[in-house]
Chains A and B, each alone.
Chain A
């Protein structure tokens, strides 16, 4: 029998669908019998979904300006 600890150890691969069918069946059986692990799996999945593709904030314009200046200087130096 799979323990909750065993289940948690496989949770990432389970959610990423990187496990074989046999292990998957065992894990799925565990969550039908263990409400705690079901909740953990479900809320971990939602956590990943919420973060996925979270775009970064644009960089501040002063930072952008200095970056582009430094780059242009570098590019000009290379052409000489």
Chain B
């Protein structure tokens, strides 16, 4: 799953490609696929936890998007729209693999005290400098893996892919308050995991208590 990260896509304006693709330009659509395939594959892997399923989700997502392009409403981002398709496909995969058929992104949400923080220690100024690019990638990835699935996709879309809270809600079919409460828990849990790697040497948990 790991190799070198792909070049940054910052500043990519999808709108002209979407407009061309809707007029029937297949090359413009293929360009959109190239832009988003890695992100969709990552999301699908995080939800399904299975490479084979993630590949199916990836294909289904873009084939469906191609087929139903005329149904895409220009008032949201194309990326948000395909994420929604991908999430639905991924959940269908999960349902098929489980016998209870009751999988959704709403499951197993503790509304209780999981925002409790245990590890409280200041970090280095540039904590990531302590690790190589590869090590850092491993640390960040494995920390996300430990999140509950319901938190994982919210965090991935909101904080890694940089969608707005509203876009994340739309993509996942959740309410804005649900996105916010999951995001908070995800952020706090990741903060706690990363503190083990990034805390200032000599500083320990509860040092400030």
> Could you list which residues of chain A lie within 8 angstroms of chain B, going by C-beta atoms?
8-9, 11-13, 16, 35-36, 39-40, 42-44, 46-48, 50-59, 63-64, 66-68, 70-71, 74-75, 78
**How far does the Cβ of B104 sit from chain A's closest Cβ, in whole Å?**
23
Chain B positions near chain A (C-beta within 8 angstroms): 1-10, 26, 29-30, 33, 37-39, 41-42, 55, 58-59, 62-63, 66-67, 115, 117, 120-123, 127-128, 136-137, 140, 155, 159-160, 162, 165, 180, 183-184, 187-188, 190-191, 194-195, 198, 208-209
Cβ contact within 8 Å between A36 and B59: no
| Interchain nearest-CB distance for A37 vs B (Å) | 9
B37, B128, B190: the one within 8 Å of A59 (CB): B37
- How many angstroms between the C-alpha atoms of A57 and B141 in the bound complex? 11
Report the Cα distance A12→B160, complex, angstroms. 15
Q: B-side binding surface: helix, strand, loop or mixed?
A: helix
CB distance from B19 to the nearest CB of A (A): 18
Considering the complex, give the chain B residue whose CB is closest to the CB of A79: B26
Specify which of B30, B140, B209 is in contact with A71 (CB 8 Å cutoff): B30
Residue of A16, A35, A46 contacting most chain B CB atoms (<10 Å): A46
Q: Decide: B208 and A74 in contact? CB cutoff 8 A.
A: no
Give me the 6 closest cross-chain CB pairs, A-B, nearest first. Answer: A56-B38, A56-B42, A55-B5, A35-B208, A12-B184, A47-B191
Instruction: Indicate if the CB atoms of B160 and A54 lie closer than 8 Å.
Output: yes
CA distance A70 to B33 in the complex (A): 12
Say whether A67 contacts B120, CB under 8 Å.
no
Determine the chain A residues whose CB is within 8 A of the CB of B4 once the complex forms. 57-58
Q: Give the complex CA separation of A40 and B189 in angstroms.
A: 11
Given A53-B8, A55-B8, A56-B5, the answer on whether A39 and B122 have CB atoms closer than 8 Å is: yes
Q: Which residues of B contact A71 (CB under 8 A)?
A: 30, 33, 62-63, 66
Residues of chain B lying within 8 A (CB to CB) of residue A54 = 5, 137, 140, 160
Q: In the complex, A59 Cα to B183 Cα: how many Å? A: 26
Q: Quick check: B208 and A39 within 8 Å, CB to CB?
A: yes
> Which of B8, B62, B115, B208 meets A67, CB within 8 Å?
B62
In the assembly, what is the distance between CA of A46 and CA of B128, in Å?
10
* Chain B residue at minimal CB-CB distance from A15: B187
The answer to whether A63 and B208 touch across the interface, beta carbons within 8 angstroms, is no
Task: Beyond the given A42-B122, A50-B127, please list 9 additional residue pairs across the A-B interface where CB-CB is below 8 A.
Answer: A8-B188, A43-B195, A44-B191, A47-B194, A48-B159, A52-B159, A53-B8, A55-B7, A57-B38
